[in-house]
Amino acid sequence: MKTHTPDLTTSAGRNPAAALTTEPVGDVVHLRAGGTSVVVQLSDARLPRVLHWGEDLGTLSDADLTTIAAAAMPGIGDSSVTYPQPVPVLAQVPEGWLGRPGIVADRDGTQWAARFLVASAFTAETAEARTLTVRAVDEPYGLELEIELEVLHASGLVRQRAVLRNREPAPLRVGAIELALPVPQAADEVMDLTGRWSLERVPQRRAFDVGEWVRTSRGGKPGLEHTTLVLAGERGFGFRSGRVWATHLAWSGNQTLGAERTPADTRRLVASEMLVPGEVVLGRDDEYATPWQYGSWGDGLDELAARFHRHLRASAGAPRSPRPVILNTWEAVYFEHDPATLVALAERGAAAGVERFVVDDGWFVGRRDDTTSLGDWTIDPERWPAGLAPLADRVRELGMDFGLWFEPEMVNLDSDLAREHPDWLFDAGHGAGLPSRYQHVLDLGHPEAESYVLEAMSALVKELGIAYIKWDHNRYLLDAGHSPSGRPGFREQTLAAYRIMDELHRRHPGLEIESCASGGGRIDLGVLARTQRVWPSDCNDPHERAEIQRWTGLLVPPEYQGTHIGAEHSHTTHRQHPLSYRGEKALWGNLGVELNLLAEDERTRADVAAWIAFHKRHRELLHGGVSVHADLAEPAARLDGVVAADGSEALFALSLTERPRTWPLGRIALPGLDDARRHRVRVVAPDGAEPLSGAQPAWVVDGVELPGRVLRAVGLEMPALDPDRSVILHIESCDA
């Protein structure tokens, strides 16, 4: 049997423990976990129909569930073709569905309107989730379908996936299997994200009108413009208010996310892998499994995001040790590598408190710029006559981990690899296609190519004692034809990358991987099951990073986000910012340094060390607390922070992105604090930092003590700030 089933949860997903209990189900099923309820109807042999997804409904009797189902049915008379409510999680044309199809498949133009009837259904309780498994068949077409719908205990996330099997000898071409989660009529506004290089994850909103709003990624990875989530909520929903629902696809390749509203006012959030024609063809007994579609909900975006954060923190592959402060060499030296310079840079980094030293692009044979040598993963003997081992050893002597940059899926035409194996490049029949950054894509659908990449990386990890890999992915997959057939290779490329990551983790326990793709081009729960860090953007400008990190945080918790102190004069935007602002914006994630510390003066190096020390003092809170964001009336102001899970401590930053419309800012409330506790609020900064200037509210001098309810409902007059400046507030519970 050939399988098209991706293992999407190898490193950080499904608990291998067997189900604790299993039981058959009736016509209506209630799944409860993590503060979430999902009510599912299964009557009339139809595929699962979600009647409620969201707030925990408490204990419900069988009679209650039957009444909920009856009360959810509209009076449609004989118009079921026009009003096929409630809609299954996988919509079918023969049931009267005229919207986006749940399944697109055919046998050479026939048997294209599948209709599945449920054959069996049961629930299971594991340590990880409450699960409903439904098995259905389309006997005339010779097809079997299995749908798993889960509510996760740790987070209250919902996730579902489908497996399609062909039981007939005639091949079945699969074009799409699109799963859906319904949202109620209260969800009348849609939000998604867009972006580009160095400006990822820009929010955009629109009314949830009748029709479809669909976002598709076709470049073999989610992409810089990828929305990450599609959300629907009560009009005007913010971080702290307004019920909101979202969907995400745990897949690092081509995909579609969307929101759909029908004339019958069915509202759904949909997700699917985007398949290229001919990419999945099932022979007899072959199967195709979709990636997991995830759903989160909350009263405000903070609660919605917190579910994703809890899920990642509870996963098997989540980092358990404090996230080390990183020094990355890219913006410090670019391609100008030599042993003496990098040893000196490492020494400067260690003196500042850096804990992990990462050598970026430029270390391998012949690599002097980005036009050549990509794919030749051999240490350059001219630049490194003794190899990288002396540098790696010196890094460890200084008390730091050693990390190395790779771009495993890419190749330059001017490389030994391309010259020796031209058939390992993607080619859909017109040659290697357009270059991007002078590079093309290595077709990992060739087992030999996959093996070459794995063995080259693994050998260096072992030889150099590498603790951390920065895994980059700069070129989109365009005409990704597998040679010599030219058949599409998009999804196999993603699966091969997953296999390499999984095998590297298996061979080298403790190895950590960062997902970078021209910045934030590959951030999703599929790759996050295998990586311990993501790079949100190539832009280190704190003005841009404030927003990029805020919206990346809808999915990714702070400790997974790489946040670096860049140069005073930004390499991407050419803005200039003082270290106080650059340091503050880098504080809120996995802190890194991308300065050339060899070129900075003694005062700047001391200030960098002070920011690193400040980060370390608060690292446990920053990387384990609950992220919160205030909804402010002034569009120029931002108040973002993190509150300890037990409510004992919090850290906030107030920032101005531009000059506000009115002045002063007035009172701003501090969200997320325990109402019942008294809290002391102080302005804090790293040692040696310059104090606030100008006239300031009286409480700023010595701090203030008030109940949490007052800080939330009344707030405090905020310190005066200039544009692109910030102030940090530390809150401690007086009752602890």
Can you spell out the DSSP letters for 611-630? HHHHHHHHHHHHHHSEEEE-
Pairing of strands 287-289, 280-282: unpaired
Tell me 537's DSSP state: B
- Phi then psi for residue 434, to 5 deg, are -70, 135
472, 524, 541, 724: the active-site residue: 472
CA–CA separation, 424 and 311 (whole Å): 37
CA–CA separation, 314 and 49 (whole Å): 29
Other C-beta atoms lying within 10 Å of the C-beta of residue 135: 15
Whether 441 contacts 426, CB under 8 Å: yes
What is the distance between the terminal CA atoms of the chain, rounded to a whole angstrom? 60
Tell me 508's DSSP state: S
CA–CA separation, 129 and 131 (whole Å): 6
CA–CA separation, 134 and 25 (whole Å): 10
Smallest CA-to-CA distance from 531 within 488, 570, 501 is with 501
The one-letter amino acid at 309 = H
Residues in the chain: 736
User: Three-class SS of residue 124?
Assistant: strand
The one-letter amino acid at 175 = G
CA–CA separation, 348 and 327 (whole Å): 10
Smallest CA-to-CA distance from 585 within 547, 616, 618 is with 547
538 counts as catalytic: yes
Pairing of strands 326-328, 199-207: unpaired
Smallest CA-to-CA distance from 327 within 359, 305, 297, 302 is with 359
Q: Would you state the torsion angle of the CA atoms of residues 328, 332, 334, 340, taken in this order, to the nearest 10 degrees? A: -90
Q: What 3 state SS string does 49-110 have?
A: EEEEEEECCCCCCHHHHHHHHHHCCCCCCCCCCCCCCCCCCCCCHHHCCCCCCCEEEEECCE
472 counts as catalytic: yes
The one-letter amino acid at 211 = G
CA–CA separation, 37 and 59 (whole Å): 10
Pairing of strands 468-471, 512-515: parallel
Q: Count Cα atoms within 13 angstroms, Cβ side, for 207.
A: 2
CA–CA separation, 526 and 678 (whole Å): 42
Kindly give, in sequence order, each residue whose CB lies less than 8 Å from that of residue 381, ignoring residues fewer than 6 positions away.
365
Kindly give, in sequence order, each residue whose CB lies less than 8 Å from that of residue 688, ignoring residues fewer than 6 positions away.
606, 607, 610
CA–CA separation, 173 and 282 (whole Å): 6
CA–CA separation, 522 and 614 (whole Å): 30
Q: Would you state the torsion angle of the CA atoms of residues 411, 414, 416, 417, taken in this order, to the nearest 10 degrees? A: 20
- Phi then psi for residue 342, to 5 deg, are -75, -30
Secondary-structure percent of the chain, ordered helix, strand, coil, rounded to 5: 20, 30, 45
Smallest CA-to-CA distance from 174 within 77, 279, 35, 28 is with 279
CA–CA separation, 681 and 716 (whole Å): 10
192, 286, 538, 607: the active-site residue: 538
Helices marked H in 282-381 = 301-314, 330-333, 339-352
Smallest CA-to-CA distance from 76 within 263, 219, 205 is with 263
- Residues annotated as catalytic are 472, 538
